[in-house]
């Protein structure tokens, strides 16, 4: 029997464990995960906020097909040696949401790397429709960024007028990638709001236009607000600026949190504000994200801190995930 490894987070530490090799079933392909990018969700799991059970993390994953063949989500043929990005929100294709094309809201969604074993493993067995083939000349470390970039693509498409000023709350992974993506999708005036002084400094060094609070970032014209954080602080940020948000503005919230969002009814009605939720992405957003990353590799690469060979010391992995002195950390798995 062939024995493979996985890196499991048990709520406290990362442990390398061995599992028997699974035979490749008909209709699946085997991939070797190569790059993993760290996301706010991973930080929430590792810090204990969202921990549910021991799993291998890694939902922002790219790797090589090593066995099997099939058709990817775009309808392209997958063969051994192809470099792919993982679509880690497996939808059922059968429920009412999937029937209407809202795969992102699938009632039977399986969240790979968040609720089930993800990419921090020697191999993964995946249905080809949950893989997207990437161009041969795309930089390898951009592969795992297709997923978080797709979150921004989906959210940005909710705004009805990209000519309006866009204010992005939070420059974590999703927010900073959305900042780059917004320019490419035609938003001409993009500003961010970031509370962490450390991140604010890095963002300014990168040439991003960033303020400390939403109140500073808004003026008299109707605006688009994208909240990529969605925790009590970012919600409070919107609430506190609510009476100053100009009439007709649109607010899209993408970060998940268990907090209650309170708006003063009159403010919402009298100003005709629009508030929309946005959850992950659909395959079309994923395909678009990979196209944007491929055609603008240099712009996206400036947000990436690449870390080689850090999985050989698992004691460091936790602090690397929790470290917020980088905008987007991409770690080589093997
Ligand atoms: Zn993520
Ligand atoms: Zn479904």
Distance from residue 148's CA to the centre of ligand 2 (Å) = 21
Distance from residue 322's CA to the centre of ligand 1 (Å) = 14
Q: What is the per-residue pLDDT for 78?
A: 98
- Ligand in closest contact with the CA of 110: 2
Decide if 253 contacts 231 (C-beta within 8 A): no
Give the containing element (helix H, strand E) for 148.
helix 146-156
Beta bridge partners of 169: 193, 227
- Ligand in closest contact with the CA of 113: 1
- Strands 274-277, 250-253: pairing kind: parallel
Stretch 256-266: mean pLDDT, rounded?
75
- Ligand in closest contact with the CA of 148: 1
DSSP-derived secondary structure letter, 220: S
- Ligand in closest contact with the CA of 144: 1
206: left (phi over 0), alpha (psi -120 to 50) or beta: alpha
Write down all domains in the chain, each with its CATH number in brackets: 3-148+281-332 (3.90.180.10), 159-277 (3.40.50.720)
Distance from residue 250's CA to the centre of ligand 1 (Å) = 24
Which pLDDT tens digit goes with each residue over 202-227? 999 999 999 999 999 999 999 999 99
- Ligand in closest contact with the CA of 177: 1
Distance from residue 137's CA to the centre of ligand 1 (Å) = 24
Q: Which residues have CB atoms below 5 A from the ion given as ligand 1?
A: 39, 41
Q: Does residue 231 have a pLDDT over 90?
A: no
Which pLDDT tens digit goes with each residue over 107-133? 999 999 999 999 999 999 999 999 999
Q: How confident is the model at residue 258 (pLDDT cuts 50, 70, 90)?
A: low
Distance from residue 191's CA to the centre of ligand 2 (Å) = 36
- Ligand in closest contact with the CA of 93: 2
User: CB neighbours of 56 closer than 8 A, spacing ≥ 6?
Assistant: 6, 7, 8, 9, 113, 117, 118, 119, 120, 121
Distance from residue 272's CA to the centre of ligand 1 (Å) = 32
Decide if 275 contacts 298 (C-beta within 8 A): no
- Ligand in closest contact with the CA of 101: 2
Beta bridge partners of 9: 14, 55
Distance from residue 283's CA to the centre of ligand 2 (Å) = 13
Distance from residue 42's CA to the centre of ligand 1 (Å) = 7
Distance from residue 215's CA to the centre of ligand 2 (Å) = 40
Decide if 209 contacts 236 (C-beta within 8 A): no
Stretch 142-169: mean pLDDT, rounded?
97
- Ligand in closest contact with the CA of 328: 1
Decide if 117 contacts 24 (C-beta within 8 A): no
Q: How confident is the model at residue 11 (pLDDT cuts 50, 70, 90)?
A: very high
Q: What is the pTM of this model?
A: 0.96
Which pLDDT tens digit goes with each residue over 271-304? 999 999 999 999 999 999 999 999 999 999 999 9
Number of H helices, E strands in the chain: 11, 20
Phi, psi torsion values for 98, nearest 5 degrees: -65, -40
Distance from residue 145's CA to the centre of ligand 1 (Å) = 9
């Amino acid at each position: 029997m062939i024995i493979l490894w996985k890196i499991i987070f048990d709520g406290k530490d990362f442990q390398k464990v061995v599992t028997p090799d699974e035979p490749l079933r008909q209709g699946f392909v085997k991939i070797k995960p190569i790059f993993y990018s760290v996301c706010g969700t991973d930080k929430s799991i590792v810090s204990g906020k969202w921990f549910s059970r021991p799993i291998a993390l890694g939902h922002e994953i790219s790797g090589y097909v090593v066995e099997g063949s099939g058709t990817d989500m775009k309808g392209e043929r997958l063969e051994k040696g192809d470099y792919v990005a993982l679509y880690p929100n497996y939808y059922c294709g059968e429920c009412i949401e999937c029937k209407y094309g809202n795969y992102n809201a699938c009632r039977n969604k399986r969240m790979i790397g968040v609720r089930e074993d993800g990419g921090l493993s020697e191999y993964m067995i995946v249905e080809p429709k949950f893989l997207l083939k990437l161009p041969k000349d795309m930089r390898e470390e951009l592969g795992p960024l297709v997923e978080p970039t797709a979150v921004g693509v989906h959210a940005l498409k909710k705004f009805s007028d990209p000519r309006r000023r866009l204010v992005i709350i939070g420059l974590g992974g999703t927010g900073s990638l959305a900042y780059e993506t917004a320019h490419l999708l035609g938003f001409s005036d993009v500003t961010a709001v970031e509370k962490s002084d450390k991140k604010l400094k890095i963002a300014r060094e990168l040439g991003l236009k960033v303020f400390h609070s939403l109140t500073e970032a808004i003026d008299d014209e109707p605006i688009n607000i994208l909240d990529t954080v969605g925790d009590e602080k970012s919600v409070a940020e919107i609430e506190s600026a609510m009476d100053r948000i100009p009439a007709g503005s649109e607010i899209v919230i993408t970060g998940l949190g268990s907090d209650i969002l309170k708006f003063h009814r009159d403010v919402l009605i009298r100003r005709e504000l629009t508030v929309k939720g946005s959850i992950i992405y659909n395959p079309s957003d994923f395909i678009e994200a990979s196209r944007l990353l491929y055609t603008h590799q240099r712009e996206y690469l400036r947000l990436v801190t690449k870390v080689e060979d850090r999985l050989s010391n698992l004691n460091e992995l936790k602090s690397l995930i929790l470290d917020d002195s980088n905008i987007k950390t991409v770690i080589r798995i093997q």
